[in-house]
Structures are given as C-alpha cells and as structure tokens.
Amino acid sequence: MSFDDPDENADWREEEGFEYELWSDADRVLALAYGAASSSSQTIASRITVILDADGVLVLEYLSDINLGTHPIEVLEDCEILFGD
C-alpha cells in the first residue's frame, strides 16, 4: 500500500507486470491506524507489514528490520504457521 493515487498505482502495476492489486491510502487512514504513518502529512509510508485474519483482526505485525530480500519468505512461512497450508 502506498500514498500514491490509485491511477498511479495502476500504471505502475501494469509497468511492472504485477498480478495482484496495489492499494492506495492517499488519505493515510490505514497508515495512521496501523502505524505506517505518524501524521496525515507524512509523505512516504513507513515500511511495515501487518497480517489480518479473515475477520480483519490483526494477528501479526512486522514493524522494523524488514529485509526486502527475505521478508516475503518470512511472511509466507508465518502465514502457513498461523493459517495452515
């Protein structure tokens, strides 16, 4: 999720060939709620990951030391433990 406008995200998604949705939080509502922004004027979201269950309940969060090379694998492994295969 980014603070970018949805059209900008859609263009970038297409350019990169991503096969998943990119969400926009231009008003910073989710970023403020989950700690990816400390104010509504913050220009770039802090790099965090939150895992929600099917009911939208926060079950796991990664707030620091996110290594872009290994983080996706870590998240997938944690989701398998939390939610099964």
Structure tokens at 50: 């939150």
Q: With contact defined as beta carbons under 8 Å apart, do 43 and 3 qualify? A: yes
pLDDT score recorded for residue 34: 92
Instruction: Kindly tell me if the per-residue pLDDT of 11 is higher than 80.
Output: yes
Please write the tens of the pLDDT for every residue from 21-80.
888 999 999 999 999 999 999 999 999 999 999 999 999 999 988 898 999 999 999 999
Q: With contact defined as beta carbons under 8 Å apart, do 36 and 30 qualify? A: yes
pLDDT score recorded for residue 85: 66
For residue 20, what pLDDT band results from cuts at 50, 70 and 90? confident
| pTM recorded for the entire structure | 0.75
- How many angstroms separate the Cα of 70 from the Cα of each of 58, 66, 73, 77? 22, 8, 6, 11
* Number of other residues whose CB lies within 10 A of the CB of residue 20: 6
